[in-house]
């Protein structure tokens, strides 16, 4: 079963799980902590990748999408392990961005490493949730899996990024009014036409522009998060299983034991759910 078929068949529980995970960041936004809201939003996005991998395991062994079991799992120390990996990825991400200001050719190397790190460590959350590998070893394990099919992983990751940008831009164009667009254009043109531009001008432009776009951007981001992030997470989860099962040490019995330990035994009898596919199924 493809990722889109899984998403369509289990749309409601996947969206509900995503909404529950994004509630804390939304509460921070309501409290006016915009910076903390955005940071927590992207951290929880990464946690969702691992949560969906657990969901794929449950589905593969005859369960309905185990939203309650996943949330119960995240109530334990498992959540903090997932957050640890998410923070490590963010530190690598922003650390490499900070080093882009270094002299040539080091800055070019940093840009290349930054782009590579985006997808090289994209499977770290499924690795942690399924294999219980924590911290930096989870990132190393993700890199080991990715390098076996580098072009394939890069293609899947670029599909996710392009779809994300398209949905986000479409929603931004829907939420931002024509008057706000004209205000942004006037602010930008006013800055460009000045003979001398100082930091005060730049800061003022940024502040006024932020006031215009912050609410449309927030609502667009949450809508994309709730409805698109589950699909992206399923895509990455199936990609992880597809790469992992190619290794000699991959054991379906271990996956079944994990499913039973976290979610219980599947229902028996004629009303039992038909498993969509083993975890090593196609990711697209």
Q: How far apart are CA 59 and CA 116, in angstroms?
A: 31
SS3 sequence of the chain: CCHHHHHHHCHHHHHHHHHHHHHHHHHHHHCCCHHHHHHHHHHHHHHHHHHHHHHHHHHHCCCCCCHHHHHHHHCCCHHHHHHHHHHHHHHHHHHHHHHHHCCCCHHHHHHHHHHHHHHHCCCHHHHHHHHCCCHHHHHHHHHHHHHHCHHHHHHHHHHHHHHHHHHHHHHHHHHCCHHHHHHHHHHHHHHHCCCCCCHHHHHHHHHHHHHHHHHHHHHHHHHHHHHHHHHHHHHHHHHHHHHHCCCCCCCHHHHHHHHHHHHCCCCCCCCCCCCCCCCCCCCC
Percent with pLDDT over 70 in the chain: 75
> What integer pLDDT is reported at residue 204 of this predicted model?
58
Where does the pLDDT of residue 273 fall: very low under 50, low under 70, confident under 90, or very high at 90 and above?
A: very low
Q: Which residue has the higher pLDDT, 231 or 76?
A: 231
Query: What is the average pLDDT across 240-268?
Result: 80
* Angle CA 152–85–225, to nearest 5: 70
pLDDT digits (tens, 9 = 90+) for 126-152: 999 998 899 999 999 999 998 888 888
Lowest mean pLDDT among 46-50, 64-68, 104-108, 112-116: 104-108
Within 8 A by CB and 6+ apart from 170, the residues are none
Query: What is the average pLDDT across 258-272?
Result: 70
Where does the pLDDT of residue 213 fall: very low under 50, low under 70, confident under 90, or very high at 90 and above?
A: low
pLDDT digits (tens, 9 = 90+) for 76-116: 899 999 999 999 988 887 776 666 666 677 777 777 777 77
């Amino acid at each position: 079963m493809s990722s889109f078929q899984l998403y369509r068949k289990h749309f409601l529980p996947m969206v509900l799980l995503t909404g529950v995970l994004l509630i804390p960041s939304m509460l921070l936004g309501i409290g006016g902590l915009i910076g903390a809201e955005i940071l927590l939003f992207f951290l929880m996005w990464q946690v969702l990748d691992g949560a969906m991998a657990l969901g794929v395991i449950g589905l593969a062994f005859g369960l309905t999408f185990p939203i309650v079991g996943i949330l119960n799992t995240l109530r334990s120390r498992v959540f903090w392990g997932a957050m640890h990996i998410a923070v490590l990825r963010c530190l690598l991400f922003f650390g490499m961005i900070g080093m882009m200001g270094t002299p040539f050719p080091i800055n070019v190397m940093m840009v290349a490493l930054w782009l590579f790190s985006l997808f090289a460590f994209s499977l770290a959350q499924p690795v942690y949730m399924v294999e219980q590998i924590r911290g930096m070893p989870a990132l190393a394990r993700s890199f080991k899996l990715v390098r076996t099919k580098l072009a394939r992983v890069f293609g899947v990751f670029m599909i996710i990024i392009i779809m994300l940008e398209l949905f986000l831009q479409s929603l931004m164009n829907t939420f931002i009014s024509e008057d706000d667009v004209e205000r942004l254009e006037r602010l930008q043109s006013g800055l460009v036409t000045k003979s001398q531009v100082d930091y005060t001008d730049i800061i003022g432009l940024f502040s006024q522009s932020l006031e215009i776009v912050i609410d449309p951007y927030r609502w667009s981001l949450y809508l994309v998060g709730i409805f698109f992030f589950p699909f992206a997470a399923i895509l990455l989860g199936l990609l992880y299983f597809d790469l992992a099962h190619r290794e000699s040490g991959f054991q379906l019995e271990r996956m079944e034991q994990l499913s039973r330990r976290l979610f219980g035994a599947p229902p028996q009898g004629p009303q039992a759910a038909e498993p969509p596919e083993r975890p090593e199924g196609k990711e697209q």
